[in-house]
Chains A and B, each alone.
Chain A
Amino acid sequence: MMPMLDCDAVMRQLWDYLDGGLTPERTAAVRAHLEMCDRCYPQAEFEKTFLRALAASRREPTDPAGLALRVRRALAARGFAPDRG
């Protein structure tokens, strides 16, 4: 049976919920609370936009293939010979 959670319990678990770190039962309980709580739902949305902004700051390497080649050459120069099975 799904546990009923109050606002305080949901606040304490909100980051874990957003990070996908709760058990399926606990995830369902938090989701059920958020769907009916006009205090906790806006906070969950606020934290989601924060996490999106954080992820948007991520920079990707511009030349991963070139870097991989460079690393392979450096390793080969040190004597690394990968198996070619």
Chain B
Amino acid sequence: MSRYALSLTRNEAEAQDLTQDTFLLAFEHWAQFRAGTECRAWLFTICRNRFHRGRVRQERQVATDDADLESLAAAAIHASARGAGIEDLFERDEVIGAVEDAVAGLPEPFRDAVLLVDLNDHSYEEASAVLGVPVGTVRSRLFRGRRLLQEHLIAHARDAGLIPPPHDAMAPNGGTKP
């Protein structure tokens, strides 16, 4: 729970407050807990809702819920990376160091799915219970979130000069040297 709170707030003191608030709210509203449901998911839902309370909610950007399309888009990203000779991109320290900011910059629905599944080891089913959406929606949001992250990290690496811009990547030897 505290790790999830930390992944939401990215600040240890705020995460501690959020964790404490979560348990206090659960205690105060224990009567609302439905016996037979997953208590852990209930706590994560409270934590998430408490975190988002009072924050400006981002507009839901869920244009398509087609996870298959996202999987194929991921294949296109890999083909592009392979063509540019940067298949090892996600093993580079500079890129790994940019992941946390990239996750924080994801639109909320996709960030929620990535935080629960990829950073807090929830199954699709557990994330579905926390977020109150069908498993298929978790899956498509997760895949979209991952694709957005990959695109962001590739752009970050390009901006940082870690990889050549697309047209240079296509030129043999990176172009003519002076």
Contacts and interface: CB of A to CB of B under 8 A. Distances in A.
Q: Contact residue range for chain A? A: 35 or more
Contacts, number: 106
Interface string B88-102: 101100011001100
Interface string A1-43: 0000000000111111001010000000000000000000011
B78 A42 contact: yes
B78 A46 contact: yes
A49 to B, nearest CB: 4
B143 interface: yes
B46 interface: no
A49 B90 CA distance: 6
Given A50-B146, A59-B6, A19 B124 contact: yes
Interface string A49-75: 111111111111110100100110011
A49 B143 contact: no
Contacts of B96: 53, 56-57
Interface in B1-58: 2-3, 6-7, 10, 12, 15-16, 19-20, 23-24, 27-28
A55 B72 CA distance: 23
Contact of B2 (A47, A53, A64): A64
A15 B145 CA distance: 12
B122 to A, nearest CB: 11
A11 B117 CA distance: 20
Given A46-B87, A46-B90, 12 more contacts: A11-B75, A14-B74, A15-B71, A15-B142, A42-B82, A43-B74, A59-B7, A59-B10, A60-B3, A61-B2, A71-B23, A74-B23
Interface of A: 11-16, 19, 21, 42-43, 45-47, 49-62, 64, 67, 70-71, 74-75, 78, 80
